[in-house]
């Protein structure tokens, strides 16, 4: 390409054509900006991707650096997995919802647990009051898990569990249920979120200090490498980082920096990154800015491949690939004119598909009002099916490649992300950076800036600060039966009476010893679970050993 000629021509165009118009008709805004504050020009041309080398930077799907996707055929081969995050009330109700979703064509399960389960409290703990069954299903013991997967053959579905601090316990329960169904562990497919670092940064369901949490995570890595080869043992999540207010660059930077910390921890535990690298998966947010989000996903794949290859000397192709799940941005939903959310979700989902996601959750339009109803969840799922079967976008791989703007933005995001990653390395890695409150502070400030932009009207949100309507129709939201808590408490009472408490105590004290001795905790947790020790009892043993974490805020 003759860049000199293009440069001349572009200067001429700007002078003769563009400026003439601008003088008479100025643009709508003085500056146009990306979510991370960089300027956007009115046009992009080959000059803006001059430094990019097609073969080494863009290349072909299924090949390093995977900018265009991790499989050569992408959605022509197999559509993404449509996976709606669900769970509420007790195990029985959630089981019904799962079986409904599977019957509607959903292809994977995604389990939402309530907060006590996620933070290691039993339903009858004082800390659990009012929270039981609210944001997900309440699981106290293996008994509940048996009910949750009743009549769902675990060798036929892939199950994703949003569980972090107590991931070892819930995964053990899942294995125990499989055992009862006669399904061997190597047949199990799915993902546990198990990403504790982002809990300290953004989501808040941590229990222990970072060091002990990292130990549990590497214990899970080690154990599963042998026992559960088909399970993704971590889903390194930027979703919640974005929800907490991060911009696109921060989302990718902090997530990949978390990833680096996990790889380092696993290597220290003696694992081969070529092997466990294949079991790492990622989880991102798809936000409003359509082209920026597509670029973001492409950049993330390329950066991670380079990190794995160059920093960790990983040669296995699968271990270099960044495979990810996407959820549309929950914080973009408005309580005002909630039906508009259906449209927002559709665009966000489309960006994720253009970005090459492996699985997708589309939010329900009523989630800014409360928990989604069955009707709204169905529309969300239909949105994905519509994209997959009607729009035609799944018939070609990475169609935005070669767009001067998207390629340029992909490169710029990569640069900005790398700056953050270097900064974090300088602090001493992500665990240290979190203890120092660095990512928390950056995100908090970004969130505040964003909110101020919304209030100044610089960031437009339809129905909220523009095109408002006076009378809002009332919306039905799902009501969680307050009886769930009592029911769980009753079940626990019964369980504690009926189970073999000697066996429980023996297993718990063995876990206690293992926690202080440094052995792999997984086999001990598995035994506890099988003897019907509760989530709270197991967590308390670990609390006594590891202590509890207090958040880091530096004002």
Partner 1 sequence: MLKNNFLEVAKKISVIENNHSKAKEIIDGLPEKSYFVVGITGSPGVGKSSLTNIIAMKFLEKGKTAVLAIDPSSPFTGGAFLGDRIRMKDSASKGVFIRSLASRGSVGGLNPSIYDTVEFLGRSGFEYIILETVGTGQAETDIKNIADVIVLVLSPGNGDEIQSMKAGIMEIGDIYVVNKMDLPGAKSLYAKVKSILELSNKNNEVLLTGMAYKETIYDLFDKINIELGKKTHRNSVKNKREINRLLNVVLKEINDNCLNCESLEIIYKFIREDLNEGKKS
Partner 2 sequence: MPIKVLVAKPGLDGHDRGAKVVAMALRDAGMEVIYTGLRQTPSSIADAALQEDVDIIGLSILSGAHNRLCKKVLDAMKERNIENKPVFLGGIIPEEDYENLKSMGIVDIFGPGTSLELIAKRIKEIVKK
Place of tokens 């670092």: 197
Q: Choose the binding region for partner 1 from 50-58, 140-148, 174-182, 547-555 (rule: CB under 8 A).
A: 547-555
Pick one of 107, 264, 288, 331: the residue that binds partner 2 (CB under 8 A).
331
Question: Minimal distance in Å, beta carbon 169 to partner 1?
Answer: 24
Please list, in sequence order, all residues whose beta carbon lies within 8 angstroms of the beta carbon of residue 57, skipping any fewer than 6 positions away: 65, 67, 302, 411
Place of tokens 């101020």: 452
Pick one of 70, 82, 109, 115: the residue that binds partner 2 (CB under 8 A).
115
Q: Give the residue from 549, 529, 552 showing the smallest Cα distance to 180.
A: 529
The full DSSP string for 221-253 is: HHHHHHH-TTEE-EEEE-HHHHHTT--HHHHHH
**Residue 243: contacted member of partner 1, partner 2, none (CB under 5 to 8 Å, by partner type):** partner 2
Q: Give the residue from 230, 110, 130 showing the smallest Cα distance to 175.
A: 230
Q: Can you read off the two tokens belonging to residue 535?
A: 């989530």
Pick one of 31, 42, 151, 555: the residue that binds partner 2 (CB under 8 A).
555
Q: Does 436 bind partner 1 (CB under 8 A)?
A: yes
User: Where does 292-384 show beta strands of DSSP type E?
Assistant: 324-328, 359-361
For partner 1, the closer of residues 356 and 444 by Cβ is 444
Q: Does 182 bind partner 1 (CB under 8 A)?
A: no
Q: Does 275 bind partner 2 (CB under 8 A)?
A: no
Residues of 336-374 as b/e, b for ≥16 C-beta within 10 angstroms? bbbebbbebbbbbbbbbbbbbbbbbbbbbbbbbbebbbe
Q: Does 330 bind partner 1 (CB under 8 A)?
A: no
Strand order in the sheet with 158-162: 85-86, 109-112, 158-162, 189-192, 231-232
Q: Choose the binding region for partner 1 from 10-18, 37-45, 112-120, 428-436 (rule: CB under 8 A).
A: 428-436
Q: Does 423 bind partner 1 (CB under 8 A)?
A: no
**Residue 65: contacted member of partner 1, partner 2, none (CB under 5 to 8 Å, by partner type):** none
Place of tokens 């003759």: 2
Residues between 199 and 218 with contacts to partner 1, criterion CB under 8 A? 209, 211
Query: What is the C-alpha separation between 7 and 262, in angstroms, rounded?
Result: 45
Q: Choose the binding region for partner 1 from 72-80, 381-389, 424-432, 533-541 (rule: CB under 8 A).
A: 424-432
Residues between 360 and 389 with contacts to partner 2, criterion CB under 8 A? 368-371
Q: What is the 3-state secondary structure (H, E, C) of 311-336?
A: HCCCCCHHHHCCCEEEEECHHHCCCC
Residues between 491 and 530 with contacts to partner 2, criterion CB under 8 A? none
Q: Give the residue from 98, 96, 117 showing the smallest Cα distance to 170.
A: 117
Question: Minimal distance in Å, beta carbon 297 to partner 2?
Answer: 23
**Residue 427: contacted member of partner 1, partner 2, none (CB under 5 to 8 Å, by partner type):** partner 1
Question: Minimal distance in Å, beta carbon 280 to partner 1?
Answer: 27
Residue 400, helix vs strand vs coil = coil
Q: Does 16 bind partner 1 (CB under 8 A)?
A: no
Query: What is the C-alpha separation between 173 and 45, in angstroms, rounded?
Result: 55
For partner 1, the closer of residues 208 and 405 by Cβ is 208
Pick one of 272, 374, 445, 551: the residue that binds partner 1 (CB under 8 A).
551
Pick one of 185, 204, 209, 429: the residue that binds partner 2 (CB under 8 A).
204
Binding site for partner 2 (CB under 8 A): 115-116, 118-119, 121, 126-131, 134-135, 199, 203-205, 243-245, 331, 333-336, 368-371, 444, 447-448, 451-452, 455, 461, 464, 474, 477, 480, 550-551, 553, 555
Write out the residues near partner 1 by the rule CB under 8 A.
209, 211, 427-428, 432, 436-437, 550-551, 553-555
């Amino acid at each position: 390409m003759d860049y000199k000629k293009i440069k001349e021509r572009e200067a001429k165009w700007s002078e003769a054509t563009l400026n003439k118009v601008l003088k008479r008709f100025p643009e709508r805004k003085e500056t146009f900006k990306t979510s991370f504050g960089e300027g956007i020009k009115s046009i992009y041309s080959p000059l803006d991707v001059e430094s990019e080398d097609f073969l080494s930077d863009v290349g072909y799907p299924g090949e390093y650096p995977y900018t265009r996707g991790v499989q050569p055929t992408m959605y022509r081969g197999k559509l993404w997995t449509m996976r709606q995050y669900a769970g509420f009330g007790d195990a029985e109700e959630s089981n019904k919802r799962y079986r409904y979703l599977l019957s509607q064509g959903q292809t994977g399960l995604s389990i939402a647990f309530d907060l006590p389960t996620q933070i290691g409290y039993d339903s009858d703990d004082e800390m659990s009051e009012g929270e039981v069954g609210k944001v997900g299903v309440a699981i106290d013991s293996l008994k509940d898990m048996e009910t949750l997967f009743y009549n769902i053959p675990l060798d036929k579905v892939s199950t994703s569990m949003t569980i972090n601090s107590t991931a070892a316990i819930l995964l053990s329960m899942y294995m125990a249920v499989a055992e009862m169904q006669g399904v061997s562990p190597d047949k199990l497919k799915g993902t546990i979120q198990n990403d504790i670092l982002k809990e300290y940064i953004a989501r808040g369901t941590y229990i222990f200090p970072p060091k002990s949490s990292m130990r549990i995570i590497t214990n899970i890595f080690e154990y599963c490498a042998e026992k559960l080869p088909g399970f993704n043992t971590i889903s390194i999540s930027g979703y919640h980082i974005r929800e907490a207010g991060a911009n696109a660059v921060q989302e990718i930077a902090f997530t990949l920096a978390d990833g680096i910390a996990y790889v380092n921890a696993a290597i220290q535990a003696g694992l081969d990154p070529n092997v466990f690298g294949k079991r790492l998966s990622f989880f991102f947010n798809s936000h409003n800015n359509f082209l920026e989000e597509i670029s973001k996903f492409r950049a993330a794949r390329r950066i991670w491949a380079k990190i794995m290859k160059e920093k960790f000397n990983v040669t296995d192709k699968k271990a270099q690939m960044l495979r990810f799940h996407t959820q549309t941005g929950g914080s973009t939903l408005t309580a005002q004119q909630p039906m508009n959310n259906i449209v927002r979700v559709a665009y966000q989902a489309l960006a994720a598909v253009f970005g090459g996601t492996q699985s997708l959750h589309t939010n329900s339009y009523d989630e800014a009002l409360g928990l989604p109803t069955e009707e709204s969840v169905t529309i969300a799922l239909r949105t994905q099916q519509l994209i997959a079967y009607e729009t035609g976008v799944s018939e070609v791989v990475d169609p935005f490649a070669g767009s001067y703007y998207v390629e340029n933005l992909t490169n710029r995001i990569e640069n900005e992300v790398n700056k953050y990653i270097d900064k974090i390395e300088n602090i001493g890695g992500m665990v240290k950076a979190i203890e120092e409150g660095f990512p928390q502070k950056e995100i908090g400030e970004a969130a505040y800036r964003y909110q101020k932009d919304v209030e100044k009207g610089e960031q437009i949100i339809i129905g909220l600060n523009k095109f408002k309507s006076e009378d809002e129709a009332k919306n039905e939201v799902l009501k969680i039966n307050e009886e769930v808590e009592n029911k769980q408490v009753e079940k626990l009472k019964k369980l504690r009476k009926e189970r073999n408490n000697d066996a429980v105590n023996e297993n718990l004290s063995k876990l206690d010893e293992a926690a202080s001795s440094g052995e792999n905790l997984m086999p001990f947790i598995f035994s506890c679970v099988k003897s019907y020790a509760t989530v709270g009892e197991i967590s308390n043993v670990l609390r006594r050993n590891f202590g509890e974490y207090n958040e880091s805020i530096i004002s």
